[in-house]
Chains A and B, each alone.
Chain A
């Protein structure tokens, strides 16, 4: 995906959007996303959730002698109700954005007390 660069005009500066390479895995409790964004620091990454659309973005802060580079990749969640989107957690370290999307807690079976009359 790295080779797919899309140019977009903004404020007369050409910004190159690069789709980061990703990894998607699933545990019992969460979906995990990892995206390679070399050059992006902890303050340069951004995650946005809008309805069923999840967007991962990263801006390279220092790109000496180069055009500014922006990473961007968008996902559509098949069923947002399956996830607890309020509790998305993310970490940016050594140029990798790790995102955890917790699954929504399943309704627990509830025991109904039977009162004897």
Chain B
């Protein structure tokens, strides 16, 4: 079964658009320039499906564990957090391609996923979320009785 993702955050479209513009800009001007990519931080999110469920992988470098949360409300999964700069406020900024700030991404999970058994792990700036399929939705081999 092909998995389809529904973005539930109306702002998401805007961020996608923004990212597309950023990409366009980055490709046209490779290094961005000193003020190149300053803007709102949006974690890159990969979604992969296998026979047992979904694996979501979000890149959240520099986000402290206490500033990251994963919540499920019904079948809506939300990843929220804040990326703060560690830069000394008194320092002079020469170049900034990194962005900071609060972020939230929500995904609507189809009914055949078991939202009770979602697991999340955060390591080296990557958040991995595992969403298993409900038992009934997993492929099953039917034994053929020999006569």
Q: How large is the interface on B (under 10, 10 to 19, 20 to 34, 35 or more residues)?
A: 20 to 34
Give bound CA distance, A59 to B91, whole Å: 29
Q: A23-B93, A27-B91, A41-B124 are in contact. Are A94 and B64 (CB under 8 A)?
A: yes
Give bound CA distance, A44 to B126, whole Å: 14
Q: How many A-B residue pairs have CB under 8 A?
A: 92
Contact segment of B24-32, B72-80, B110-118, B133-141: B24-32
Structural contact, B48 and A39, CB atoms closer than 8 A: no
Residues of B within 8 A of A99 (CB): none
Structural contact, B27 and A3, CB atoms closer than 8 A: yes
Q: A65-B48, A94-B64, A96-B125 are in contact. Are A36 and B87 (CB under 8 A)?
A: no
Structural contact, B124 and A23, CB atoms closer than 8 A: no
Residues of A within 8 A of B85 (CB): 23
Residues of A within 8 A of B92 (CB): 25-27
Structural contact, A34 and B86, CB atoms closer than 8 A: yes
Task: Using CB atoms, name the residue of chain A closest to B32.
Answer: A1
**A14 close to B (CB within 8 Å):** no
Q: A1-B30, A1-B32 are in contact. Are A22 and B95 (CB under 8 A)?
A: yes
Q: How close is A18's CB to chain B, nearest CB, in angstroms?
A: 11
Structural contact, B93 and A36, CB atoms closer than 8 A: no
Most B CB within 10 A of own CB, among A23, A27, A96: A23
Q: How close is B5's CB to chain A, nearest CB, in angstroms?
A: 19
Structural contact, A96 and B61, CB atoms closer than 8 A: yes
Give bound CA distance, A41 to B61, whole Å: 11
Residues of A within 8 A of B124 (CB): 38-41, 44, 61, 94-95
Structural contact, B126 and A22, CB atoms closer than 8 A: no
Contact with B along A27-50 (1 / 0, CB 8 A): 100001010111111001000000
Contact with A along B34-69 (1 / 0, CB 8 A): 000100000010001000000000011111110000
Apart from A34-B86, A96-B61, 16 more pairs, CB < 8 Å: A1-B31, A3-B23, A21-B37, A23-B93, A27-B88, A27-B91, A32-B88, A32-B91, A36-B98, A94-B60, A94-B63, A94-B65, A94-B124, A95-B124, A95-B125, A96-B62
